[in-house]
Amino acid sequence: MSAVIEGKGGFRTWLNKRLPVDQFVEDQLTGYYAPKNFNIWYFFGSLALLMFVLQIVTGIFVTMHFKPGWESAWPSLQVMVREVPYMWLIQGLHVVGASFFFIVVYLHMARAFLYGSYKAPREVLWVIGMLIYLALMAEAFMGYVLPNGNMSFWGAQVIINLFGTIPGIGPDLVEWIRGDYGIGDALLNRFFSLHVVALPLVLLLLIGLHLVALRQVGSNNPDGIEIKEKLGKDGKPLDGIPFHPYYTLKDIVGVGLFLTVFAIVVFFMPTFFGLFQESPNFEPASLVSTPDHIKPVWYFTAYYAILRAIPDQRLGALLMALAVAAFMFMPWLDRGKNKSIRYRGIASKLLLAMFFISFLLLMWLGLQPAEPLYVFMARVCTVTYFAFFILLPFVSKADSNGPVPERVIYHAH
């Protein structure tokens, strides 16, 4: 159905004959039907997109004043935030934004775990999402290394040396990544190039694909019911409402709430108790003085805790990679008939709770010094973390066959 109103002259008709603006708006917004029972968990997709745009826009300005390189990076950052008008704000939004991007993405992923959003027919949507997560981790890591603060530097040492544990090619690979025998201009300049050009383009492409796949299969919902299976006489889903104006307006409320929290952190606690900006990074990289506890930023610490829990570094690095890769297989590991956790048995609920708790505990443990008690706890959590993926096929098959309502549950307000 063409959205162009025939017979109506003027610029709009002229434009639509040449560029399908109205058609696009109808396909993507006014004619795209989403389930009406979205809850608070469904804010985080649009918020992730908002964070991506914010990082690009603030990043453009940071790039104007930043000078990559071993000697120049750290001072250029200090001069930028102190002397260029309002760069303290733009750089603050960028660095705090990185942490909030991950908060939003983790909650977005947790939503998929709760309501089985990765299950058929959304496997490809999920896998693209996981590729976004991987690209985002690379993007964030490089952005973290670029300022060449002391924690940036020592953190980069640890992470890059992990590639050295790959049998055979490891040491050569590390040298190839660094382009030198140590971290220096070569690495910092190529990370700059990747951080500001290559990875944002990759992310843009993947996010586009993620949205195309979403429009193809439609959103899941808290009840895990396919709304396309119950169509009204007009061919529209009975439980669906047009994305615009309903969800555009609802998402704006989400944006307002989110930005309020975000602004409180940016303006009143930009280091967030040393979690979003760590105190050793207020010193330039130094070959002779090591930070007391070398650790990555909070959004990587769950995997870092797994790495440290394993005495053998090579095995630790392998498990760390597996811990991330395991997400990819969720659509096939989960064999439940029902998607949503609402209509699964107690065993499934406990299993998922165990996984969430393991992940959060690992995250916390990765921030702690490697003391015996913490390492022991990290080992326990590593076991429960992987136990989730191993047990899921059996548990999900056995206890998610309860009755599911015909229509989504929605209480009008």
Which of 327, 349, 329, 328 has its CA nearest to residue 396? Answer: 349
Q: Which residues contact 43 (CB under 8 A, 6 or more apart)?
A: 251, 254, 257, 258
Measured from the CB of residue 224, what is the shortest distance to other proteins in angstroms?
20
The residue behind tokens 């002229």 is 14
When binding is defined by CB under 8 A, the residue of 257, 287, 315, 353 that contacts other proteins is 257
Note whether 71 binds other proteins by CB under 8 A. no
Note whether 366 binds other proteins by CB under 8 A. no
When binding is defined by CB under 8 A, the residue of 253, 287, 315, 353 that contacts other proteins is 253
Q: b/e string for 358-386 if b means 16 or more Cβ within 10 A?
A: bbebbbbbbbbeeeeebbebbbebbebbb
DSSP 90-103: HHHHHHHHHHHHHH
Measured from the CB of residue 241, what is the shortest distance to other proteins in angstroms?
6
Which uninterrupted H or E stretch holds 273? none
Binding piece for other proteins, criterion CB under 8 A, among 44-52, 167-175, 276-284, 319-327: 276-284
Measured from the CB of residue 253, what is the shortest distance to other proteins in angstroms?
5
For residues 23 and 396, is the Cβ–Cβ distance under 8 A? Answer: no
Greatest CA span in the chain, whole angstroms?
Answer: 78
Measured from the CB of residue 266, what is the shortest distance to other proteins in angstroms?
8
Give the count of residues interacting with other proteins (CB under 8 A): 36
DSSP 120-169: TT-HHHHHHHHHHHHHHHHHHHHHHHTT-BHHHHHHHHHHHHHGGGSTTT
Note whether 282 binds other proteins by CB under 8 A. yes
Measured from the CB of residue 289, what is the shortest distance to other proteins in angstroms?
10
Note whether 273 binds other proteins by CB under 8 A. no
Note whether 75 binds other proteins by CB under 8 A. yes
Note whether 260 binds other proteins by CB under 8 A. yes
Distance, in Å, from the CA atom of 212 to the CA atom of 135, rounded to the nearest integer, reads 18
Note whether 80 binds other proteins by CB under 8 A. no
Judged by beta carbon, residue 83 or residue 180, the one nearer other proteins is: 83
Q: Which residues contact 111 (CB under 8 A, 6 or more apart)?
A: 41, 42, 44, 117
Measured from the CB of residue 262, what is the shortest distance to other proteins in angstroms?
9
When binding is defined by CB under 8 A, the residue of 67, 236, 250, 379 that contacts other proteins is 250
Note whether 267 binds other proteins by CB under 8 A. yes
Token pair recorded at residue 402: 């309860």
Distance, in Å, from the CA atom of 74 to the CA atom of 253, rounded to the nearest integer, reads 38
When binding is defined by CB under 8 A, the residue of 103, 104, 266, 328 that contacts other proteins is 266
Distance of CA 340 to the CA centre of its chain: 21
For residues 18 to 57, the per-residue mask of contacts with other proteins, x marking binding by CB under 8 A and - elsewhere, is: ------------------x---------------------
Judged by beta carbon, residue 86 or residue 332, the one nearer other proteins is: 86
Could you list the residues that contact other proteins (CB under 8 A)? 36, 75, 78-79, 81-83, 88-89, 92, 241, 245-246, 249-250, 252-253, 255-257, 259-260, 263-264, 266-268, 270-271, 279-280, 282-283, 410, 412-413
